[in-house]
Amino acid sequence: MPLKGPKLEKFKQRLLAKRRELISEVRGSNVGSLETSTDGIQDIADQASSAYTKEFLLSIGDAERRMLRQVDEALNKIRQDTYGLCESCGEMISERRLEALPFARLCITCQEEEERAKARS
Ligand SMILES: [Zn+2]
């Protein structure tokens, strides 16, 4: 079962906030120019996630584009009603994981699996 209702909305807002920050990071201070209408009002209520994002961006340097794509993919999934489902096994990704990583594609089990596979190759 994908996430629904207020919980889904919370993650959506978080993703939108992250997207805005990523865009401003990639394109200097010119926020908004790249902003497509994801849908309607986008108020950032979640200051904590915003601070988290800033800190995160400082630590990742130029991985922003890749990140932005992941955020967009997550937003697409929200539109398609598949947000929060693991792309590999189809199981629900735990909310705790989504809290930390709202654009996670894989559940923790598959993520670890993937990392092990990478480490081997
Ligand atoms: Zn999985």
In the chain, the domains with their CATH numbers are 5-120 (1.20.120.910)
User: From the CA of 104, how far away is ligand 1's center (Å)?
Assistant: 11
Output the tens digit of pLDDT for each of the chain's 121 residues. 678 899 999 999 999 999 998 878 666 544 444 444 444 334 444 444 566 666 655 555 667 778 888 999 999 999 999 999 999 999 999 999 999 999 999 999 999 999 999 999 8
Give 65-73 contacts, CB < 8 A, sequence gap 24+.
Answer: 65/26, 67/22, 67/103, 68/19, 68/22, 68/23, 68/26, 70/103, 70/105, 71/15, 71/18, 71/19, 71/22, 71/102, 71/103, 72/19, 73/103, 73/105
How many angstroms separate the alpha carbon of residue 95 from the centre of ligand 1? 14
Residue 40 alpha carbon to ligand 1 centre in Å: 32
87 alpha carbon – ligand 1 mean position (Å) = 7
